[in-house]
Amino acid sequence: MKFTRVKSIRGELSVPGDKSISHRAVMFGSLAEGTTAVRNFLRGADCLSTIECFRRLGIQIEEKPDEIRIYGKGLHGLSAPSQILDAGNSGTTTRLIAGILSGQDFDSTLTGDASIQKRPMGRIIEPLTQMGASIESLSGNGCAPLRIEGRPLHGIHYRTKVASAQVKSSILLAGLYADSPTSVTEPALSRNHSELMLRQFGADVKTEGTTATIAPAPRLAGQEITVPGDISSAAYFIAAACVTPGSELLIRNVGINPTRDGILRVCRMMGADLTVMPYENQKGESAADLLVRSSSLKGCVIEGELIPTLIDELPVIAVMACFADGTTVIRDAAELKVKESDRIAVMAENLSAMGAQVTATDDGLIIEGGRPLRGAAVNSHLDHRIAMSFAVAALNADGETVIQDAECVNISYPGFYQDLQRLCL
């Protein structure tokens, strides 16, 4: 797909529903008794993979124009799949379902695409095995395909090495099937959508600092869920409006859960012209309208506990940093290497191709801002967040940019290019 410079970005937009929350609504709805209705569900390829996996586990799921309806069968209502479960490109699907499958009374095989088959699953195999699970990496490299034999599980207290909501959620979901409470302590707090939504479904989940504890065998009850817009999808438009001269953009109904709002904090650190207008009387997941205008940005340091709150936004933050005065340092973000692509290497490669001054480090990137970008051929490496980040860069570069495999945005944001084009002047 080809892009050239635009004048400005103006107008109003609602981004699609949150990906993490959409996955969880399908999973927890499947394990609940009764019907779960989900509005503003993200119909991206990742969440459709989750739906397909639960259909193969015997759950009826209806896709209506305005909502998804899940006819849950209770904690012990899943049935043995007759086919391999295919998580596609989705790490969330793979890791969370592995936790659920560990405690079933049947065996299953779970796999995904070429990217998933390279992503580390040892981080869930180790704690789930401690709980009594039997999980084998069929290629012997700690990655999917995974053969999971359902077993009786025991509660554990597990300390994760990295802050990962996928690992935390996998263990907590296995904890639903354990014989005693299960706790997870993280080095820093990762997104807490599982804890909030499991509680809404009736589970006994307690949190204290970076520790979450779940009691086994609750009766989960079907819920009505309205998914807020995905802040990770909004991030591309926040960045585009900030760095494109003469821009003004109103982004409606964006989820601003404090475990996800790091991009807003970085915008403040960089001096962005951003107004957050939170909705009133909110319980659980909160949302806001965001007003963003073009801004003179300055470089900043992004590190430590901030990292898990913006882990998926770091590629587009790196693009923003190219338009900022001074140096931006991203550190403590080695997790970027094991996402849908090695995002440290891919960002450094593609930004360099566009003329940016960028250095890849072991755990992040160093970007000297203020050098004009020039159009280039960039490879998305089939990573949706890389493709969207470079669409933002391309709109502010001299000459033409060609993004290879640009259609991978369908993973999290079908309609991204149409939304972007509609707002560009």
Closest C-alpha among 266, 265, 268, 289 to residue 277: 289
Name the residue with the smallest CB distance to ligand S3P: 20
Cβ(278)–Cβ(288) below 8 Å: yes
Closest C-alpha among 66, 15, 20, 9 to residue 415: 15
Residue 255 and residue 239: Cα distance in Å, rounded?
A: 17
Residue with tokens 């960039």: 378
Q: Which residues are registered as beta bridge partners of 225?
A: 38
Residue 399 and residue 27: Cα distance in Å, rounded?
A: 45
Residue with tokens 């591309």: 236
126 binding ligand S3P? (CB under 6 A): no
Which DSSP helix (H) or strand (E) runs through 173? Answer: helix 165-175
Among 6, 9, 16, 20, binds ligand S3P (CB under 6 A): 20
DSSP state of 341: S
50 binding ligand S3P? (CB under 6 A): no
Among 165, 238, 320, 367, binds ligand S3P (CB under 6 A): 165
Taking CA atoms, 137 is separated from 122, 169, 184, 340, in Å, by 9, 20, 23, 19
Residues 295 to 314 in contact with ligand S3P, rule: CB under 6 A = 311-312
Residue 412 and residue 415: Cα distance in Å, rounded?
A: 10
From the list 86, 312, 383, 419, the catalytic residue is: 312
Residue 107 is among the residues annotated as catalytic for this protein: no
Torsion of CA 425, 1, 20, 141, to 10 degrees: -160
Nearer to ligand S3P, 182 or 244 (CB): 182
Torsion of CA 257, 163, 185, 146, to 10 degrees: 110
Stretch that binds ligand S3P, among 102-110, 163-171, 202-210, 215-223 (CB under 6 A): 163-171
Nearer to ligand S3P, 151 or 385 (CB): 385
Q: 109 phi and psi, to 5 degrees?
A: -125, 135
383 binding ligand S3P? (CB under 6 A): no
Residue 334: CB minimum distance to ligand S3P, A: 11
Taking CA atoms, 423 is separated from 13, 14, 200, in Å, by 8, 12, 37
Under rule CB under 6 A, how many of the chain's residues touch ligand S3P?
12
Residue 377: CB minimum distance to ligand S3P, A: 26
Stretch that binds ligand S3P, among 162-170, 174-182, 287-295, 400-408 (CB under 6 A): 162-170
Residue 166: CB minimum distance to ligand S3P, A: 4
Closest C-alpha among 148, 153, 186, 146 to residue 169: 186
Among 191, 260, 343, 381, binds ligand S3P (CB under 6 A): 191
Maximal C-alpha separation, the chain: 62
Closest C-alpha among 182, 189, 185, 204 to residue 133: 182
Nearer to ligand S3P, 150 or 308 (CB): 308
190 binding ligand S3P? (CB under 6 A): yes
Among 92, 111, 257, 410, binds ligand S3P (CB under 6 A): 92
Residue 271: CB minimum distance to ligand S3P, A: 26
Stretch that binds ligand S3P, among 7-15, 148-156, 165-173, 283-291 (CB under 6 A): 165-173
Residue 123 and residue 125: Cα distance in Å, rounded?
A: 6
164 binding ligand S3P? (CB under 6 A): yes
Residue 169: CB minimum distance to ligand S3P, A: 6
Nearer to ligand S3P, 184 or 373 (CB): 184
Among 289, 335, 342, 363, binds ligand S3P (CB under 6 A): 335
Amino acid identity, residue 42?
A: L
Residue 149: CB minimum distance to ligand S3P, A: 24
The residues that touch ligand S3P, with contacts defined as CB under 6 A, are 20, 91-92, 164-166, 169, 190-191, 311-312, 335
Which residues belong to the active site?
Answer: 312
